[in-house]
């Protein structure tokens, strides 16, 4: 309802100011009004998100630094990525797991969230400081080689291309921060991409890459990423 009020208000002002403007230009201005109102509503409130995050704490920690190796750290993750994941969990819940990102626990947690709830939660966890992890010495060299250089002989794209030199990703492009993540969680997600059980990646990019990774590759990358910052 708030979106409708904002759009209507902007449109009335535009029409009043540009009464002599051609219909073509009015159409452009109307589209701009829709875009700006959408952007305004897309902003999350970290304080509101903190209040809504109480049910998340058991699995992800109060500040988004999970103490459970199979549950991801959310602290410092890009807000856009977090909001998308919540929306995908909700989609999975509503589609019986056919669409979105299917997870028995998260589907139930996300199904009752509004778009604003998702934006607020995403803003809160994105504002938190992630704790640094560590990489065992044996995984540094092979992990760096695969992460930074990929493997041309197997047509494996270097992770650095999308996730950056320090694993921080690119928020606006939708590529997540994968640095400092739990080893067990990263291994599980890469294997799910490889099997196709997880299929909410952009244009199937992660499924295509993971399909070429061996179990050893996945273990090496997961350990390397744990200490990358």
Q: Are residues 104 and 174 in the same domain?
A: no
- The separation between CA 35 and the C-alpha centre of its own chain, rounded to angstroms, equals 22
CA–CA gap between residue 194 and residue 126 (Å, rounded): 27
Radius of gyration of the chain (CA): 21
Residue 110, token pair as written in the block = 């996300």
- The separation between CA 17 and the C-alpha centre of its own chain, rounded to angstroms, equals 40
Q: Are residues 148 and 212 in the same domain?
A: yes
Examine residue 37 and state whether it is found in any structural domain, yes or no.
yes
Task: Give the CATH number, domain containing residue 167.
Answer: 1.10.760.10
CA angle 169, 206, 123 (to 5 degrees): 40
User: What pLDDT is stored for residue 229 in this prediction?
Assistant: 87
Q: Are residues 117 and 158 in the same domain?
A: no
Q: Are residues 167 and 220 in the same domain?
A: yes
Examine residue 12 and state whether it is found in any structural domain, yes or no.
yes
Please report which confidence band the pLDDT of residue 42 belongs to, taking 50, 70 and 90 as the band edges.
low
User: Of 126, 157, 186, which residue constitutes the final position of a domain?
Assistant: 126
Q: Which of 222, 228, 143, 158 is nearest to 190 (CA)?
A: 222
pLDDT at 167 over 70: yes
The percentage of residues in the chain with a pLDDT greater than 90, rounded to a whole number, is 81
Domain encompassing residue 36: 2-41
The percentage of residues in the chain with a pLDDT greater than 70, rounded to a whole number, is 82
Question: pLDDT tens for residues 97-142?
Answer: 999 999 999 999 999 999 999 999 999 999 999 999 999 999 999 9
| Three-class DSSP category at 108 | helix
Q: Are residues 36 and 74 in the same domain?
A: no
- Token look-up 């995908």 returns 88
Average pLDDT across the chain, whole number: 88
Question: pLDDT tens for residues 175-222?
Answer: 999 999 999 999 999 999 999 999 999 999 999 999 999 999 999 999
CA–CA gap between residue 177 and residue 63 (Å, rounded): 16
Question: pLDDT tens for residues 53-88?
Answer: 999 999 999 999 999 999 999 999 999 999 999 999
């Amino acid at each position: 309802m708030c979106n409708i009020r904002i759009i209507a208000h902007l449109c009335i002002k535009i029409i009043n100011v540009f009464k002599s403007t051609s219909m073509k230009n009015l159409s452009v201005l109307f589209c701009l009004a829709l875009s700006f109102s959408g952007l305004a509503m897309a902003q999350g409130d970290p304080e509101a998100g903190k209040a809504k995050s109480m049910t998340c704490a058991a699995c992800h920690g109060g500040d988004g630094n999970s103490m459970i190796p199979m549950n991801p750290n959310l602290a410092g993750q890009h807000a856009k990525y977090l909001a998308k994941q919540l929306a995908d969990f909700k989609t999975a819940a509503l589609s019986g797991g056919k669409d979105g990102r299917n997870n028995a626990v998260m589907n139930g947690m996300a199904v009752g969230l509004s778009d604003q709830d998702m934006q607020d939660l995403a803003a809160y966890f994105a504002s938190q400081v992630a704790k640094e992890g560590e990489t065992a010495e044996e995984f540094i060299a092979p992990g760096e080689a695969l992460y930074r250089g990929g493997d041309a002989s197997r047509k494996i794209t270097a992770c650095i291309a999308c996730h950056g030199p320090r694993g921080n990703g690119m928020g606006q492009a939708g590529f997540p921060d994968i640095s400092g993540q739990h080893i067990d969680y990263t291994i599980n997600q890469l294997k799910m991409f490889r099997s196709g059980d997880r299929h909410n990646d952009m244009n199937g990019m992660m499924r295509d890459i993971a399909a070429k990774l061996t179990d050893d590759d996945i273990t090496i990358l997961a350990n390397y990423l744990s200490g990358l910052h």
